[in-house]
Amino acid sequence: MIEIYHNPRCRKSREGLAIVESSGQDYKIIKYLENTPSKKELAIVLSSLSFSPLQLVRKNEAIWKEKFKNKALTDDQIIEAMIKYPKLIERPIVIKGNKAVIGRPAENIIELLEN
């Protein structure tokens, strides 16, 4: 089953969801702003993406700039920041099996779903 970490207010996330829906594959929507992922869930997402925690952070978010930018943070501290402030998590994230992509650009999702 496909999983999509989705923010309905985000245009790119809505575009990603439309691609997933049009694929005809079974999927599950995870509204991560309402149901914040646990540390373990984020670790799985990061592993599926082959990302470091910092690569998953939306660095242009005001919260990041105000509280975390230019600070020497460990991976654990970055993960804790994303759990406390889920707006920091890049979106949309689409997971299929043990692989995942960020849907920016949307073509990333298409490639994932075709493989």
And the tokens for 2?
């496909």
Identify which of 93, 111, 103, 87 has the alpha carbon closest to the alpha carbon of residue 46.
93
User: CA angle, 71 as apex, 78 and 31 as ends, to 5°?
Assistant: 30
> Which of the following is catalytic: 10, 44, 73, 83?
10
Q: How many CB atoms lie within 10 A of CB 45?
A: 21
* Residue 15 known to be catalytic: no
Residues labelled as active-site residues? 10
